[in-house]
A and B are shown apart, each in its own frame.
Chain A
Amino acid sequence: MTKAEIILQIIIFSLGFFYAIVYYVRLPVPVLGTGNLQSAADQLFTYLTAILTGAFAIGIINLTRAHANNVKNRRPIWKYSVILLASMYFMAVASIIASPFSLDPQSTVIPKGVYAVFFSIWQFLYYNVLVSINATLFSLLAFFIASAAYRAFKARSLETSILLAAGLLVIIGQAPISNLIWPGFGTIRDWIMAFPNTAGQRGILIGAALGILAFSVRRLIRYPWGR
């Protein structure tokens, strides 16, 4: 490890160790002008939050660099890049002036008339354009599921049969009309979700928790050493 990496690792370890123990160790030690370790930890959170918000422009800078490059070099998709950049900056301006994240929501600096105009524009762009496109993009998956239902979901072996059986019983049980056909479908669905599914998910959850804990401790102490 270089000197810089050692310093960074010390930062990671000291902050990580502090936050790992602070909610288990109760010590009335005056730290950072507060009465105990827990209050100091909470105070430190305000500083950490302030630090992390500093990265506010990273995304927009990276996108601008990538797409300005496309435009400059006249790549085949350069016209789309122009549209992306234009919509990005226009939405940024409209949102800064009049959105739930407006910098001046009470119109102390921005005139109320300007605010009203930009608010209408922002509402249009957000609810009529962004929500429509995003919701529809996700809804395309429904068609792919329908197509896969015929082509891909085959009971080729015992394993796939179990998966299909559980899946089909849940699909039928979820459909409100199944209750009119036979109320047992809902009961079966509830049983599958509450028992075999819970058992399987819990096993996966415990395994994942062990993995996360192991990774966290390893990263804190930079194990394996020497790499």
Chain B
Amino acid sequence: MRKMDIASDPRLTYVLLILVIAVPILTHAVLPVPVTDTTRAVYDFIENLPPSSLVVVSFDYSTSTVPELQPQATIVAQHLFLRPLKILFVAQWIDGPALTDAVLEAIDRGNKIYGTDYATLGYIPNTATLIGMTADIQSFFPVDTLGNPTQNLPIIKQFPATRQAALVITFVAGEPGLSAYLQYWESRLNIPVAAGSVAALAPGFMPFYNSQQIIGILISIRAAAEYEFLEHAQYSQVPIGLSGATSAMVAQSTSHMLIVLMVVVGNVAYFVRRRGKERSK
């Protein structure tokens, strides 16, 4: 029979990974998640925005990173709708508008009225539009995603240009994304920017957080869980589990520990083999 071990057949590793993830999911365990400074910064900033401030929410990711960013977008959007704010939804990626609709359907929109308190403008196709809309939204978005002329929307009459925004929060999985808002909105017009990022890009955004070019970063699904706990503590009507992030935290922990274990075991095996070879010489 062919020898089967982790070194020769990676499929055993795959089975192990599936098991360490599936078992915690089946037990429905929930783990409290300590809140990091980068997440708290975003939460506090939104919580302290003056009433009737304009917030621009940008969906800059595709269906491939939905598991990391859709929970963030859901829980942050719920927070925005709980506060007396005006919200414009845009997207720099083509999948953005469809994912925006999914988020809006999942949250409780309260008594906010479409067109007056929030609107979905849709896809921003290039930097020309991104820069131009800071001066005049209607020229670049004559209609919204529902086909309504933007000149008739009360929110656009109140905020005809995005330069008046008090915050832009971008859920970003690559380019175009955060860098576009930093280059063309924050550096030129001092519009505060927050980022909800996939985990792989988050280390690259730390210099911007350190230089205060962004006010905070939400890092992957873990930040969604942290944000959910923060929001539930203040707004008890927001259920734990709205974003689906908290239920994943135990499985996240076990899968991380498996990776650490595999690295350690792999290195121990490597050093033992190397020592054996040196001795035999």
A interface list, Cβ under 8 A from B:
23, 39, 42, 45-46, 48-49, 52-53, 99-102, 104-106, 126-127, 130-131, 134-135, 137-139, 142-143, 145-147, 149-151, 153-156, 164, 168, 171-172, 174-180, 183, 186, 190, 193-194, 197-198, 201-202, 205
Contacts and interface: CB of A to CB of B under 8 A. Distances in A.
A102 B57 CA distance: 22
Closest 9 CB pairs of A and B: A100-B97, A177-B253, A105-B147, A175-B256, A45-B132, A147-B10, A149-B262, A134-B63, A45-B128
Interface residues of B, number: 68
A99 B262 contact: no
A177 B257 contact: yes
Most chain A beta-carbon contacts within 10 A, residue among B125, B222, B263, B270: B263
Given A104-B147, A176-B34, A154 B266 contact: yes
B145 A105 contact: yes
Given A175-B253, A178-B253, A190-B36, A138 B260 contact: no
B113 interface: no
A171 B259 contact: yes
A125 to B, nearest CB: 11
A190 B39 CA distance: 12
Contacts of B125: 49, 52-53
B272 interface: no
B147 A106 contact: yes
Interface in B10-41: 10, 13-14, 16-17, 31-34, 36-37
Contacts of B147: 102, 104-106
A171 B140 CA distance: 43
Interface in B244-281: 249-250, 252-260, 262-263, 265-267, 270
B259 A145 contact: yes
A49 B140 contact: yes
Contacts of A150: 6-7, 13, 262-263, 265-266
Interface string B197-232: 001001110110010000000000010010000000
A168 B256 CA distance: 9
Nearest to B24: A177
Most chain A beta-carbon contacts within 10 A, residue among B250, B259, B265: B259
Contacts of A194: 206, 210
B158 interface: no
Given A45-B129, A146-B17, A100 B145 contact: yes
B188 A177 contact: no
A175 B257 contact: yes
A105 B36 CA distance: 42
A159 B128 CA distance: 43
Interface string B84-128: 000000000000011011100000000000000000101101101
Most chain A beta-carbon contacts within 10 A, residue among B122, B123, B255: B255
B180 interface: no
Contacts of B66: 131, 134-135
Contacts of B6: 150
B136 interface: yes
A201 B207 contact: yes
Contact of B256 (A39, A171, A183, A190): A171
Contacts of A179: 33-34
Contacts of B98: 99-100, 126-127
B204 A201 contact: yes
Contacts of A164: 263, 267
